[in-house]
Every structure is written in structure tokens, then in C-alpha cells.
Amino acid sequence: MDLEGKIAIVTGAGSGIGRATALLFAQHGAKVIAADITGKQDETAAENPAAITAVKADAGSEADVQMLVAKALELHGSLQVFYANAGISGGMEGIFDQSVEEWERILRINLIGPFLAIKHGGKAMADGGKGGSIICTASVAGLRSGAGGPAYTASKAGVINLVRIGAQQLTGSSVRCNAICPGLIETGMTEFIYNKARERGFEDKIGQLNPLQRGGIPNEIAEAALFLASDRSSYVNGHALVVDGGLSASHPYARQKFGQTAS
Ligand code: NAD
């Protein structure tokens, strides 16, 4: 029960990584505000109604993020964890085809959303005087190019540096601020990739670029979020934790069989 007595907000909690994390946090003793824009947060909360409260909210709206923080304080009296996870991919159009409006839409949710979590969640935690943990979902797409569209890639790179400035700005508050960089995870966002591969009988090719040679599941990211949310990561701050099966650990290369020596 790593999160016993802690109050957590999770955005994007209606599906994928956010849903798995809300359920795992609740399983580990937290009271959770599960937020999503779709209404699917109700299904997540229905799995553990004693611990999870569903709230409809737009993670990129300042008024909604303020409302989420106020809800946590109203229902539970304090806030210790804010997982700013909601995000959209925005498709794979190239840089010459994306509009300014599309960039604004993607950056608003993927980057301004985490900024608002730090601004309002971090403030509430700092005011509470007992520290806390802010976690933002970045991506391997934020480390280098090739894992998403241009605006998505830029937004996720922004999140990685945002948690560094967030940690610095929260100096003295004992509020930590970290990011998670997932690799390929089977969720609503990547459903089309998995569906297409399954339709063509190529499911076993998914994840072959990483050393574990498989895609990840939402719970593998939720476990990383649990670590960052809990006091077990009490000295981890301003960090981007990569959870990608080793995908980003190497440059593209011609694969050798295990044990084979280069000639
Ligand atoms: P998902 O589509 O299954 O879940 C995302 C959830 O966010 C959905 O329930 C959606 O309704 C919600 N959402 C979207 N916009 C919102 C908004 N404005 N306000 C509130 N909720 C909103 O996808 P996922 O993969 O679980 O995505 C979670 C995060 O993980 C995203 O930030 C995504 O960029 C990131 N990520 C995913 C992968 C992957 O391979 N799936 C890899 C790296 C990073």
C-alpha cells in the first residue's frame, strides 16, 4: 500500500495508461480523482468506487484543472499526487501539412496541460506543506524524432524540459516533478497500429525494434507512475524516466543474433 493516505489526480483516466494508473493508485491505497474529457472516466471509477471519483474535465483548460484541484481539496482535504497524463497524438501528417491550429490543439493538451498541473497542483501541494509528486507523461517521441508527428514530438520534448523547470521552480516545497517517457504501449492511442498489424498477420512484428522485442502494456507505465508517486522515489526529482523496453537505448543498427560476434 505505497500510496496509503495520499490523494491523487490522474488525467486521461478513461483509457489506456491513465485508466491503468488510476486503478493501480487506488489499489495501493490512494483516493483518486479520475479525470477525462470523454465520460469514460465513469467506467474507470466504477471499478473501484470506494477509492475513485470520476470527474469530467479538459486537461488543457486552466479552469478545469483548477476545478480538479479544488475537487481534491473539497473531497479529501489535501493533494499529494498529480499525474498529468492526458494526451493526443494528432496524427502523423508531416511538417508541411500540419496547420498552426493543429499545433495549437496538440500543444494545448500535451504541453499546456502538464504546465497547468504544475501551476495549480504544485501550488496546492506546496501550500499543503507536506510535499508531493507531479508526474507528466512525455514519450520516447520527446527524446528524438521518429515516434510521432511533428507537433506531438515537439510537445513531448517540451514536457521533458518542463518537469526540469517545474522541479527547479518548486525548490524548497518538497514537491517533486518528474516525467515518464513510454515507448510503444497498446492503448486507445495506438489501437490503429495494433489493429492494422493484426489484420495483416504482423502482430509479432510489433515492438521488434526494442531489445525486449514486444510492445508494452498500460500497467507497465502505471507501475512507473506508482514508483514516482510514492515515497519510494523520494530523491527522484526533475527526471524523465524512460520505460520503453530499451528502444531508445541504441541508435538504429543491423541486428546481430544474441551471442554472435562481429567479424
Ligand atoms: P489513450 O488514448 O488510450 O488515453 C488517453 C486519454 O486521454 C483518453 O481517455 C482521452 O479521452 C484522454 N484525453 C484526451 N484529451 C483530453 C483532454 N483534453 N482532457 C482530458 N482527457 C483527455 O492513450 P494513452 O496511450 O493511454 O495516452 C496517455 C498518454 O501516454 C498520452 O500523453 C500519450 O501521449 C502518452 N504516450 C502514449 C504512448 C503509447 O504508445 N500509447 C507512448 C508514449 C506516450
Q: pLDDT by residue (tens digit) across 109-133?
A: 999 999 999 999 999 999 999 999 9
How does strand 240-243 pair with strand 81-84? unpaired
Q: Is residue 204 assigned to a domain?
A: no
189 CB-near residues (< 8 Å, 6+ apart):
16, 87, 88, 89
- Ligand 1, pocket-test mutation among 9, 10, 11, 15, most atoms within 8 A of CB: 15
Compute, in angstroms, the gap from residue 20 CA to the centroid of ligand 1: 12
Confirm whether pTM is higher than 0.85. yes
* Parent domain of 72: 7-186+217-245
* Cβ-Cβ contacts under 8 Å for 50 (sequence gap 6 or more): none
The answer as to whether 122 is a domain residue is yes
Per the annotation, the verdict on 194 as an active-site residue is: no
Q: In what order do the strands lie in the sheet with 52-56?
A: 52-56, 31-36, 7-11, 81-84, 132-137, 175-182, 240-243
Report the domain count for the chain.
1
The CATH number given to whatever domain includes residue 182 is 3.40.50.720
Is 32 a member of any domain?
yes
Please give the single-letter amino acid code of residue 74. Answer: E
Q: What is the pLDDT of residues 77-95, one digit of tens each?
A: 999 999 999 999 998 899 9
Q: Does 194 reside within a domain?
A: no
Residue 18 within any structural domain of the chain: yes
Asked if residue 188 has its Cβ within 6 Å of ligand 1, the reply is: yes
pLDDT digits (tens, 9 = 90+) for 173-187: 999 999 999 999 999
* Helices assigned H by DSSP within the chain: 16-27, 41-46, 62-76, 100-107, 113-116, 123-128, 150-169, 191-199, 218-229
Residue 254 lies in a domain: no
Q: Which of 83, 22, 20, 12 is CA-nearest to residue 53?
A: 22
